[in-house]
Structure 1
Amino acid sequence: MNLTTKKVATDNIEPSDPTDKVIIRKYCCKDREALRTICADTGFLGKPIDPVFEDRELFADFLTRYYTDMEPESAFVCERNGKVVGYLIGCCKPRLKFWYHLLYDPLLFFKAFYRYFFKPYNAATKKYIQWVLTRGWRETPPAPKDCPHFHINLLESVKSPNTTRRLIDSFLAYLVSKGHRKVYGQIVVFGDRRKPALFRRFGFEVINSMEVTKYKEHYPSKIFLFTVVKDLEKRPLLYSK
């Protein structure tokens, strides 16, 4: 398969079912605040991040700002009745992202440092920051270098296999149209959700995983972060063979 010449339309992907009010489309600047709100509303295992980390602004800055401000062309949103209810943010320029965080993250650090002592943050938020500084980097599994990646979040009201497939397939088709051959994601796994067999069903290979302890006081069971990789030459879409 010639990945560099395959033509895929990704600007507006209409629902296959005309009665389905959910559409998948490319991200635009007017979606920024809605995307940031969803990030905070789903930040704690699909629920609002507030009980764990109260600073929604800083949380959204760290997790979404690069994607919305530096690489918006690689982002997609899920919209229902004119309202953004989910998103997929992707990175096809990992070196740019590296330099962005190298330059921008110190500013986030100083904001967090100031608010830690002078706002001040509550006890749960302080513990979360302590985890980020002392354990976060150690509990993040390795990822492939110079490889595109993505993050996906949907509000509970629109979560479904069909919506998730359409959103991910839109990004995968975009990658193929740009000539990319692989993509990875780092997926939170807890309880009975997202077992390795499920990833394999969709053409993803689990290459490593690590236990994440940042929610230990808020969730009774173990939580893991899996790094999964998909070969787009073999399976360019989620359900393709």
Structure 2
Amino acid sequence: MEIRPYRPGDRDAVHDICIRTADLGQDASGSYADPDILPNIFALPYAELEPELAFVLDDGGRAVGYVLGTADTGVFARRFRAEWLPRVAERYPAPAGEPATRDEAMAYELHTPERMVVPGLDDYPAHLHIDLLPGYQRAGHGRAMMDTFVAALRRAGVPGLHVGMISANRPARTFYDRLGFHVVEVADPGPLTYLGLRL
């Protein structure tokens, strides 16, 4: 097992891992009409726009997990709109009104990257996504991947990191608590809990 920088050849594996872990760590492929929208929001844009902060867990030449993110959420949201969204917007049109289905909710997220910029998180400009295939969870790989990501942020002089996690995802909350994250209160968190880590 090796944690190494993301390579373009990992794209399909990262795409697959994202879908297979997107439903509170479980397979989301049956939950959406087109589950490919998930990696196009939560994985691939990070790997392509900030590859220096994209790492995979490699098991014999195959990526089985990843951690990827951005050093500056505000800058990333702007780049997402300008550079990433034009590539995928036609395939996933924005909903005409209030999202009524899970697919429409994801399309809304895709078309509103500014939602990533949450007031109250200025001290924690970086954010990340981490996912491991089920057979590789609870074996210490997640902590090692986080250590790799945090070290890269520290080398870049980033002062803080945040994650926005579904509040009902108790295993994820336990994982972040063990890593030293703490709750950051924001005005309107919705279904998310925001956790921060000072670097």
Instruction: Spell out, residue by residue over 1:11-50, the C-alpha distance to the aligned partner (whole angstroms, 9 max, x if none).
Output: xxxxxxxxxxx21111111111111111111111112222
User: What is the rounded CA distance, in whole Å, between the counterparts of 1:95 and 1:142 in structure 2?
Assistant: 9
Instruction: Spell out, residue by residue over 1:151-197, the C-alpha distance to the aligned partner (whole angstroms, 9 max, x if none).
Output: 1000000002511110000011111111122111122342643457x
- 1:23/1:80 contact within 8 Å kept: yes
Larger Rg: 1
- 1:88/1:153 contact within 8 Å kept: yes
* 1:43 paired residue among 12, 16, 22: 22
Q: Which residue of 2 aligns with 1:171?
A: 149
* Local SS of the residue matching 2:194: strand
Post-superposition offset of 1:107:
5.5
Unaligned runs of 5+ in 1: 1-21, 117-125, 213-224, 233-241
Cα 1:181–1:134 shift into 2, 3 Å: closer
Post-superposition offset of 1:205:
1.4
Q: Which residue of 2 aligns with 1:205?
A: 182
Cα 1:65–1:161 shift into 2, 3 Å: same
Q: Which residue of 1 aligns with 2:40?
A: 61
User: What is the rounded CA distance, in whole Å, between the counterparts of 2:109 and 2:81 in structure 1?
Assistant: 19
User: What is the rounded CA distance, in whole Å, between the counterparts of 1:179 and 1:135 in structure 2?
Assistant: 29
* 1:70 paired residue among 24, 42, 49: 49
- 1:38/1:86 contact within 8 Å kept: yes
| Alignment of 1:26 onto 2:5 | yes
User: What is the rounded CA distance, in whole Å, between the counterparts of 2:47 and 2:173 in structure 1?
Assistant: 30
1:71-86, aligned counterparts within 5 Å?
Answer: 71-86=50-65
Aligned-residue RMSD, C-alpha: 3.1
Identity %: 22
Q: Which residue of 2 aligns with 1:10?
A: none
Cα 1:140–1:52 shift into 2, 3 Å: farther
* 1:182 paired residue among 146, 154, 160: 160
Amino acid in structure 2 at the alignment position of 1:37: D
Cα 1:47–1:195 shift into 2, 3 Å: closer
Cα 1:57–1:208 shift into 2, 3 Å: same
- Across the two proteins, how many residue pairs are aligned to each other? 188
Q: Which residue of 2 aligns with 1:5?
A: none
1:1-241, aligned counterparts within 5 Å?
Answer: 22-103=1-82, 104-105=84-85, 108-113=88-93, 127-132=101-106, 142=118, 144-145=121-122, 147-190=125-168, 192-195=170-173, 199-208=176-185, 210-212=189-191, 225-232=192-199
Instruction: Spell out, residue by residue over 1:192-236, the C-alpha distance to the aligned partner (whole angstroms, 9 max, x if none).
Output: 43457x644422111147453xxxxxxxxxxxx22111011xxxx
